[in-house]
A and B are shown apart, each in its own frame.
Chain A
């Protein structure tokens, strides 16, 4: 690796690149993470008490979490809802990605991708706020359903989980569509034709040929969507109700409302562990390695 870089860029440039990468990794990733972990194992102290007798390693911050039924419930609800968001996004994205990769003409695919990407030029909070307006009690969606005669009184979309689910599927759809698209696109069209020719209907063709081929893409999309959903703050804050709080909101509260960074750090570390566990499980389930996902 070092040798390849050196042959390509020469010694000075190679050293510059490698040291920049090193500084970035250490200063921006490793040190802050280490600081977080360190915080989480210490009690919250006044500045004057730091380094004193009270400043000892302890598991109190983690004990707080496991003794708080509400926080535990929200933690598991966040996992479950994120899994649901991931599943829904997969269901919505798969036909779209298949259409883009195998059905659409290049022109149609380009237009469709443009339509998908343009909303993402707008900030996530604004996009989420747009859904807030659409879902409002006297908003356009209620008006539309009312006009179509499907409902006789407005629905409170924003009081349950529905708003959060829809908002998240919309916010993270591209992170699912693109890995899926890349995976399906690389499938030889003759494979699909051969399956059809041998008598397979569309369902079986997808189940036996397309989906097995797209597995690494499905795994990548699921991992990204799950992590973004589990770590999301804006969507549940805007589209959620007090009954549909996200674990990130609890972390936010510890840091900025409670002022207890140590406690917040413990909660944040738990979320990180959760995500790592999820990634590992998905990789096991789909039987893919890190290399497949990086593709």
Chain B
């Protein structure tokens, strides 16, 4: 259970960056940290103590494999989530680049002052 809570600590660090930081790139970094923590939490929930990877090889007995393997479903979904995270981060960074071209700064307080 403590390891789940450590994941939430990591999530809190990312949230702190998103809410409190003034630099746009720091905000993107905070979103990335939150994404990492949630991916890790989902994989941890599917982990089996002393299990094996969900890959069948020649030595595997058919009935044994269900009681040995880790959960493959969170792994497949997290794989999707990681790739979508790449798309989200690249979209955010392209918005940041565009804002920098318009305002000449990454500081969100200065961007707010220069509105219009």
A and B part of one assembly = no
